[in-house]
Structure 1
Amino acid sequence: MKDNQLIYGIRAVLEAISANQPINKIFIQKGLKGDLFKELESTIRKSGLSASYVPIEKLNRITRNNHQGVVAQISPVQFQDFETMVEKILSEEKMPFFLLLDQVSDVRNFGAIIRTAECCGVNGIIVPKNGSAPITDDTVKTSAGAAFNVPIAKVDHLKDALFYLQSSGISITAATEKAENDIYSIAFDQPTAIIMGSEEKGISPSILGMVDHQAKLPLLGKIGSLNVSVACGVFLYEVVRQRQG
């Protein structure tokens, strides 16, 4: 991690949270005590931020500065407020196009997905606060800078985001190999959101139970799955193909 992406010290991290800085993750030294530390823990919980308790040796590797037992990693990209982002897109676009990612945790896959999403005209990307890949320098590099062009929102729970989108007239299609129908049987000539899951776990069953459509990609070879960024590209470009046809 680069020092210009780090905030260190309990008070400095508290101030960063208060100022709504785009924090990817907070690293806290194991065994830390004191009233100020308790205030930090409480603030992290209320803010829904991700925190890890680590040995002091890891913090010393992250930064040579006086970290006082706490280091926060700052995202190079400012995240959007979910509802504000959605309402703005709905007011500006006749055929809004969203992408949701359920537990996609690899930063390079995330970057590649953002790049493809930007090329396909996706209006907004939605990810959960917990379990999602952070936006790092590697993410931005892999996205070829597209991370600065596509609005990205973090939400506490994807279920709430799905409900909000559906109540706003957005049809949700989940990419899953468990589907009976393939992607080419789904009509995308309507306000649409595509949801992709992680390569390891796919989309969680509770999310699959909420979507409007489930679709799979036909796989004609011996390998049973595609890299998530490649699969995402196929799904997004099918939306583009239908809308341009």
Structure 2
Amino acid sequence: MSTIIFGIHAVHEAIKSNQTLDKIFVDANVQSAGIKDILKLAENASVQIAYVPHQKIDKLAKDGNHQGIVAKISPIRFHSLEAILEENQQTEKPKLYLILDGVSDVRNFGAIIRTAESVGVDAIIFPKQGSASINEQMVKTSTGAIFNIPLCKVDHIKDALFYLKSYGVKTIAATEKASNLVYEMNLKDSIAIIMGSEGKGISKAALKMSDAKVKLPIYGETSSLNVSVACGAILYEVVRQRL
């Protein structure tokens, strides 16, 4: 599970030793030279930073001598997207990738991981900023599936889409703005399904870059589905077509 470390020296050494930090929490009212140095290192390492009230820092550090800074070491190891694409290129089997564009709810993220691992998704790709934290709740919701599927944190979704396209992967955005139902789309080739955030959906940039757009039919009064439910329905349509 996630390990909490606190104090300027501990967090500084964790970054220098290339520990996989999920997020750094900084007391919004503390601006020491040591913390400023850490923040520079964190930005270079693309570690997510959150500025929070000192009460939050006290709670995370359990009233330890935190000096205004706390970090969470991720319970899992992240993978390089480029390395995953290169490795998967060695097999002829059609690839299936899942892109989560800003899914911020831990339970939704965990449920998606569970389904994705069950259907054989080759990797889950998500941005470093704006995504749910990889924590104990996510591990629990995924029922441990999080340890059996590659997770790729990227700086920008646009870059991930560019890499996927360069490897011949078709990118398909799941959006209610689509004119085609997912059942009408050929999902048998190597594809990457893009799912958007709970509130805003898929970003305009990702929608613009996607090769195709699909939607699920909605017949009731509810205008949209929970992202984890929608993702499951779409992934199992992929499975159905590939059987």
Counterpart CA distance in 1 for 2:88 and 2:104 is: 26
Correspondent of 2:54 among 28, 53, 56: 56
SS at match of 1:26: strand
1:237 is displaced (CA, Å) by 0.6
**Match of 1:22?**
20
Match of 1:40 in 2: 38
Equivalent residues in 2 for 1:1-245, closer than 5 Å = 5-64=3-62, 65-92=64-91, 94-244=93-243
Secondary structure of 1:91's match?
coil
For 2:187, the aligned partner's letter is: F
Shift of the 163–223 alpha-carbon distance from structure 1 to 2, 3 Å rule, reads same
Q: Which runs of 4+ in 1 moved over 6 A?
A: none
State the 1:147 CA deviation.
0.2
Q: State how far apart, in whole Å, the 2-side matches of 1:148 and 1:192 are.
A: 23
Name the SS for the 1:238 alignment partner. Answer: helix
User: In 1, are the aligned partners of 2:104 and 2:198 still within 8 Å (CA)?
Assistant: no
Unaligned runs of 5+ in 1: none
Contact (CA 8 Å) 2:35, 2:69: kept in 1 or not? Answer: no
Give SS of 1:222's match.
coil
TM-score of the superposition, structure 2-length normalised? 0.96
Q: How big is the alpha-carbon RMSD for the aligned residues of Structure 1 and Structure 2? A: 1.3
CA distance in 2, matches of 1:93, 1:19: 37
Task: Figure out how many residues of one structure are paired with residues of the other and give that number.
Answer: 242
Q: Distance in 2 between matches of 1:44 and 1:7?
A: 15
Q: Distance in 2 between matches of 1:179 and 1:192?
A: 17
Structure 2 gaps, min length 5: none
Report the CA distance between 1:30 and its aligned residue: 2.3
Percent identical among aligned pairs is 52
Q: Aligned equivalents of 2:81 and 2:18: distance in 1? A: 14
